[in-house]
Chains A and B, each alone.
Chain A
Amino acid sequence: MSTELEQRLERALSRLPRPGGDAQERARAAALATLPPVHEPLRHARRTIVLAAATVAVLVAVAAGLAATGTVTFAVRSSKPAPPHLVLPARSDGVAAFVDGRLWLLTRGGARIEGLRASAAALSPHALYVAVGLGRSLVAMAPNGRTAWAHETRGEVEAIAWAPDGLRIAYVVRVARGFELRTIEGDGDHDRLLDTSVRPSRPSWRPDSLALAYVGAGGHVVVYDFGHASRKALRSSTLPWTRGLGSFRTIRTPDATRLVWAHAGREADVFRGGPRVSIRAVDVR
C-alpha cells in the first residue's frame, strides 16, 4: 500500500511537462534514419537518386560558401571516423596530403614529413608544428621532424584540431564504447576530457580560440564555450543523413562569426557566433 508521500510523489511527477512537438519530430526522423536499409530494388534506386541529389546539394552549399567568403575551412563529419585529411592554416604555404593512411607534408616554414603512417593530423597556426595521431599517442612534431612531445591516449586518435591561438589542441579519441573529445595544451600538458561521447569528426575552433564546435553523440552540433565552461547543443542541427551517408560539411567563415552546416538534403543551418548562438535556416537550393 502506498504511503501519503508516495502518492504525492506520483502526483507531482505526473505533472512533469510534456516533450515539445519539434523535438519529437526531430527525434523520430533521426531514430528512423538509423534503421537498416530495406533491400528492395525500387527503394534502392530511389535512395540512390536521393543520395546523388544530396551530394549535389552539398557541393552547391560548399561552392556557395566559397563564393561568399573566399577562403573556407571545412571538415567531413559522420558517424564513422572521418578520413584523415589536413588543412593548412591560413597564410601558410605548403603542401599536405593523406594518401592511404600516410601523411605527406612540406611547408615553407620547414616542416617536412614523408609517408608517415598516422590516423589524424593537424598543423599549428603557423604550420610550425604538426600534431599527429600515431597508434595510441598524440604526438607533436617540430619542423625538423623531431618529436616535441608525445602524449599517450586511451585509443587511436581519430581527429585533431589545433586552436588558432596555438594554445590548445582538441582531439577525438576512440574508446571502448565510442569516441570522446579531449583537449590538451599546445605544449602537451593538461590533457582534459571535454565530452564523453561524440561523433568522430574534426572539431572546429572559433577563431578567437574560446569556443569549439563539434558533433555530439546525438548528431547535434555542440558548441563548448571555454570562457563560461558551458556547452550548448544547437537544436536544429540533427542530421538524419549523417549515418551511412557521411557526407555533410561544416564551413566556418574566416570572419569568426558563422558556422555553416550544410545538410545533405536541401538546406543549411547558419550558426552565428558570439556569447549567444542563434540559429537560422537557409535554403541553398
Chain B
Amino acid sequence: MSRVEIGASVRTVEADVIGRRRSDAQLVRAAREGSRTAAAELFDRYWSDAWRGAYAITGRRALADDIAQDAFERAFSSLARFDESRPFGAWLHRIVVNRALDLLRAERRLVGGDAASRHELVDGGWIAHAADRALLEAVAALPLARRVVVVLRFGIGMTPQQIASTLELPVGTVNSRLARALEELRAREREGQEVEDVH
C-alpha cells in the first residue's frame, strides 16, 4: 500500500494504491468511517448510470435529477446498514428504480393518465435515427414493470441475474418480463410497418 508523508504524520492516501482501482466494498468501508473522498469516488463511479436509469424509466430530466440525487442521499445515509457482501451498484439501482416507480405511480394517482405520455425520451432531439426514435417510443409505452427490466438490461447492461437481485425478483420473472417486453416491442414495430405499407 503506498503512503504519502504529510508533515510529521504518515497517513494513507485516500486514493491510495495509486494505479489500482479500489473495490466498491473498500470504498464503502472507507466511506462508513467518514472518508468523503471514498464516498465521492463511489458517487462518481455510479452517478451517471443511476441518472441514466432514472431518466430511461421516467423519461424526464428533472425527475431523473431528483431521483438520482435522492438515491445517493438515501444510500449514503444508510451505509451503516449496507450488506457488504452485496454489490453497491445493485443496491443503488434498486433504490433508484423503487424511487422512480414510487414517483410515477404517485403521479399517475394524482394526475391520472400514463406518465409515459409525457415522456421526453422521444422528444430530446438527441436521437439521430428515426428507427431509434420509434423504438424508444415503443419502450416508453411499455408497462412500467417491463420498461424497468428493459432499461436495466439494455440501457444499464445488467444481466438477468443482476436485475433479479436489484428488483428482488426471481430470475424467471425477470426473463419472462424481458421476453414479453421484446415481444411487445416487435409487435409494435410490425404494426408500424403495416401502417407504413398502407400509406
B-binding residues in A (CB < 8 A): 3, 5-6, 8-20, 23-24, 26-28, 30-32, 34-38, 193-197, 216-220, 229-231, 233, 235, 238, 243
Which residues of the other chain, B, contact A36 by a CB distance below 8 angstroms? 32, 34, 79-80
Which residues of the other chain, B, contact A31 by a CB distance below 8 angstroms? 39, 43, 69, 72-73, 75-76
**Contact check: which of B33, B126, B132, B139 meets A11 at CB < 8 Å?**
B132
Known contacts A19-B68, A196-B106; is A13 also within 8 Å of B62 by CB?
A: no
Q: State the main secondary structure of chain A at its contact with B.
A: mixed
Known contacts A5-B186, A230-B111; is A34 also within 8 Å of B77 by CB?
A: yes
Known contacts A27-B69, A38-B34; is A16 also within 8 Å of B76 by CB?
A: no
The yes or no answer to B70 lying at the interface (CB within 8 A) is yes
Give 16 CB contacts A-B under 8 Å: A9-B135, A12-B127, A18-B48, A18-B52, A20-B65, A23-B68, A27-B69, A28-B43, A28-B72, A31-B73, A31-B76, A35-B34, A35-B39, A35-B79, A193-B109, A229-B111
Q: From B109, which residue of chain A is reached at the shortest CB distance?
A: A193
The yes or no answer to B164 lying at the interface (CB within 8 A) is no
Which residues of the other chain, A, contact B80 by a CB distance below 8 angstroms? 36
Known contacts A9-B154, A19-B51; is A30 also within 8 Å of B66 by CB?
A: no
Q: How far is the CB of A254 from chain B (nearest CB, A)?
A: 29
The yes or no answer to B31 lying at the interface (CB within 8 A) is yes
User: When chains A and B are docked, how far (Å) is the Cα of A231 from the Cα of B75?
Assistant: 25
16 more contacts with CB within 8 A, not counting A12-B132, A19-B55, A220-B66, are A5-B186, A8-B131, A8-B135, A9-B185, A10-B157, A12-B136, A12-B139, A13-B136, A17-B126, A19-B48, A23-B51, A34-B73, A38-B33, A231-B110, A233-B62, A238-B69
Interface centre among B66, B132, B189 (most CB of A within 10 A): B66
Which residues of the other chain, A, contact B40 by a CB distance below 8 angstroms? 28, 32
Which residues of the other chain, B, contact A10 by a CB distance below 8 angstroms? 154-155, 157
Whether A218 and B132, one on each chain, are in contact in the complex, defined by CB atoms closer than 8 angstroms, is no
Q: Which 7 A-B pairs have the closest CB atoms?
A: A38-B34, A13-B155, A27-B69, A31-B72, A19-B51, A34-B77, A9-B154
User: When chains A and B are docked, how far (Å) is the Cα of A231 from the Cα of B62?
Assistant: 11
Which residues of the other chain, A, contact B76 by a CB distance below 8 angstroms? 31-32, 34-35
The yes or no answer to B124 lying at the interface (CB within 8 A) is yes
Whether A9 and B150, one on each chain, are in contact in the complex, defined by CB atoms closer than 8 angstroms, is yes
Q: From A13, which residue of chain B is reached at the shortest CB distance?
A: B155
Q: From B77, which residue of chain A is reached at the shortest CB distance?
A: A34
The yes or no answer to B10 lying at the interface (CB within 8 A) is no
Q: How far is the CB of A237 from chain B (nearest CB, A)?
A: 11
Whether B185 and A13, one on each chain, are in contact in the complex, defined by CB atoms closer than 8 angstroms, is no
User: When chains A and B are docked, how far (Å) is the Cα of A30 from the Cα of B40?
Assistant: 11
